[in-house]
Amino acid sequence: MSTVAVSPSNSISMLAERYAAVRAQSTALARPLSPEDACVQSMDDASPAKWHLAHTSWFFETFVLAQSNTNYTPFDPNYRVLFNSYYNAVGAQYSRPHRGLLTRPSLSDIHAYRSHIDTQMSRVIEGDIDPELAAIIEVGLHHEQQHQELLLMDIKHLLSCNPVAPAYIAHVERPVLATSELSFCDYPGGIIRVGADGTDFSFDNERPCHDALLHEYSLATRPITNKEYLAFISDGGYHNSLLWLADGWATVKKHDWEAPMYWRNTDDQWFEFSLTGEHPLVPNAPVVHISYYEADAYARWANARLPTETEWEFAANDTATHGNFVEHEYLHPQANGSTDLSHPTQLFGDVWEWTMSPYIPYPGFQTPAGAIGEYNGKFMSGQMVLRGGCCVTPHEHIRATYRNFFYPANRWQFGGIRLAR
């Protein structure tokens, strides 16, 4: 749970404004979608856009409205099951792989649900709200921002399944920037502080702040580009078992991987599908939509390795969280054109950077009480940590301590590579 406390009138006003802005952004992201787009589920890991819009409203209804008012009447009792993601303490959930079968309630019904929840939430926020409830609302807003990113990830996968490669939004031509030569910055070893200190918002998996031992290391000045990854492919990277972890090699063979997800080779020319349609591959842009297995294999091929999350965080602590986020509306990684080799660039935005760190609890981690404790802790097994945000992450949602996590074979998230030594 968040440690943020919201009190006195100015803070309440800020919470109300933030609530309205985050909710409006979800609606705006869904606006380009037809009812058909919003209902279909293209794979088990993805969810329909309509479900994302409903589930984020379910969160506020379940953890705020129902908890703050013992006489609260649900908008629709059936929604308690239909839009419960994984909270066993709340009750039963509808099967995740079958969410695309929920043609009803309709998209218009879901928008009516969101409007109802927003009206009820405004009364709660403007009332005599206690700090603990305000903290849960803050969690809910960051939770909704996570689902905004998921909505774009999932709709991209859905549209990629269509042979005519439809665009989510229109493509706008932008200048293609050069990129600097790959270089490395050196960092000293020592005992450092890792994690969030509770001053600002953080998820429970970012805490507690603790000491960690850091050995001397070097970190690449930028992410790996498409051009550099093409060299790995041309050198037979996907056919050299010595480069791959055992699970990775088995995954490559099982799925016949030959290139990153959304790359397509037509008449010996590489194209890449994006949220603005299919376009020729941009050599200087960061490579994206690769699994941990691919990132690890590339690093080994490049005589390097992936950074640990501690190394990544130490390098990012003194870096402003500027970058290519969803607000820029590129919705795809961009070459940044920087020639500054004195420090790492593009640590934030563009691509989530795989680390070699397993997603496990920090020393002293405690799961929050109640159903809200299921948010992060129970997923701390079998997944790997990614850092830095990406081109579809809301800017204000990211920070140096933020820990994202996916299974090592996942590719539909915007995952990329930064090397370490």
- The DSSP code sequence of 132-178 is HHHHHHHHHHHHHHHHHHHHHHHHHHHHHTSTT---SS---------
What would the pLDDT profile of 308-355 be if each residue is shown by its tens digit?
999 999 999 989 999 999 999 999 999 988 777 788 999 999 999 999
216, 308 in Cβ contact below 8 A?
Answer: no
**Total number of residues shown for the chain:** 421
Q: Which residues contact 257 (CB under 8 A, 6 or more apart)?
A: 238, 251, 294
CA-based nearest residue to 181, from 217, 219, 220, 218: 220
User: What residues are paired with 405 via a beta bridge?
Assistant: 385
Q: How many CB atoms lie within 10 A of CB 219?
A: 21
Exposed/middle/buried for residue 119 (C-beta within 10 Å: 0-12, 13-18, 19+): exposed
What would the pLDDT profile of 56-114 be if each residue is shown by its tens digit?
999 999 999 999 988 999 999 999 999 999 999 999 999 999 999 999 999 999 999 99
What would the pLDDT profile of 209-220 be if each residue is shown by its tens digit?
999 999 999 999
Beta strands in 237-351 (DSSP E): 263-266, 269-274, 277-280
Dist CA 70 CA 357 (whole Å): 43
Dist CA 244 CA 313 (whole Å): 26
What would the pLDDT profile of 251-270 be if each residue is shown by its tens digit?
999 999 999 999 999 999 99
> Would you say residue 127 has pLDDT above 70?
yes
Q: Which two tokens mark 272? A: 């890449």
| DSSP-assigned letter for residue 65 | I
172 φ, ψ to 5°?
-120, 125
Q: Which two tokens mark 133? A: 């409830």
pLDDT at 373: 80
137, 5 in Cβ contact below 8 A?
Answer: no
Q: Which two tokens mark 127? A: 């009332």
Q: Which residues contact 218 (CB under 8 A, 6 or more apart)?
A: 184, 185, 186, 187, 420, 421
Query: 0.85 exceeded by the pTM?
Result: yes
Give the side-chain half-sphere CA count within 13 A for 277.
Answer: 10
Dist CA 162 CA 166 (whole Å): 7
> Would you say residue 5 has pLDDT above 80?
no
Quickly state the pLDDT bin for 26 (edges 50, 70, 90): very high
Mean pLDDT of 124-130: 90
Q: Which residues contact 118 (CB under 8 A, 6 or more apart)?
A: 19, 20, 23
> Would you say residue 6 has pLDDT above 60?
no
Strands 269-274 and 263-266: antiparallel
Q: Which two tokens mark 243? A: 């480069």
Dist CA 319 CA 189 (whole Å): 19
222, 182 in Cβ contact below 8 A?
Answer: yes
Extract long-range pairs of 10-16: CB within 8 Å, 24+ residues apart: 11/134, 12/125, 12/126, 12/129, 12/134, 15/125, 15/129, 15/134, 15/137, 15/138, 16/122, 16/125, 16/126
Q: Which of 45-54, 126-135, 297-306 has the lowest mean pLDDT?
A: 126-135
384, 292 in Cβ contact below 8 A?
Answer: yes
Instruction: With H, G, I as helix, E, B as strand and everything else as coil, classify residue 17.
Output: helix
pLDDT at 420: 98
> Would you say residue 115 has pLDDT above 90?
yes
> Would you say residue 371 has pLDDT above 90?
no
User: What residues are paired with 384 via a beta bridge?
Assistant: 358, 406
pLDDT at 340: 77
